[in-house]
Amino acid sequence: MNDIPTRTLPARKRIALVAHDHKKDDLREWAVYNKSVLAQHELLATGTTGHLLQKALDLPVHSLLSGPLGGDQQIGSLIAEGKVDVLIFFWDPMEAQPHDPDIKALLRLGVVWNIPIACDRTTADFLLTSPLMHEAYEAKLTDYSDYVARLKPKV
């Protein structure tokens, strides 16, 4: 029998919050509206967004670097290390970003590690109101061992 790898998302989630410049106000308003739920979890964010949220929520928010300076990559790394459980990323689809490859990589890692991702307010509302948000959850991971084996050089 082929065992499917899993990862347990704890009841107290580690939520990464990211917003492009034209979406920072939207994320701030959403976070203030959902402050009581967010207060039950650990929050981290890219630079400016983190400082903005900490001030608006009066809650601890671990701020990383600004997105264009490597913050998106830092969050991606934390996802790969199993240190981020949920990604809320209010991105601006109408404006090109100079760090688009970093953004694509961040979203890719979220999908590879099968974590919940919200890229707009409606999806973020659905995520936060899910009963699964407040309990441990066993996420199934894609078994990439076959892919990794194909990458190894033949000797």
Report the catalytic residues: 72
Residue linked to tokens 């981020």: 84
pLDDT higher than threshold 60 for residue 114: yes
Strand 42-45 to strand 14-19: parallel, antiparallel, or no bridges (unpaired)? parallel
- Using the predicted structure, report yes or no on whether residue 98 has a pLDDT greater than 80: no
pLDDT of residue 1: 45
Q: Domain extents for the chain?
A: 12-151
CATH topology of domain 12-151: Rossmann fold (3.40.50)
pTM above 0.75, yes or no: yes
Look at residue 97 and tell me whether its pLDDT is greater than 50. Answer: yes
Do 15 and 42 meet the contact criterion of CB atoms below 8 Å apart? yes
pLDDT band at 149 (very low <50, low <70, confident <90, very high): low
What value does the mean pLDDT take over residues 66-86? Answer: 92
* pLDDT value at residue 4: 81
Average pLDDT for 145-149:
61
Query: What secondary structure letter does DSSP report for 62?
Result: E
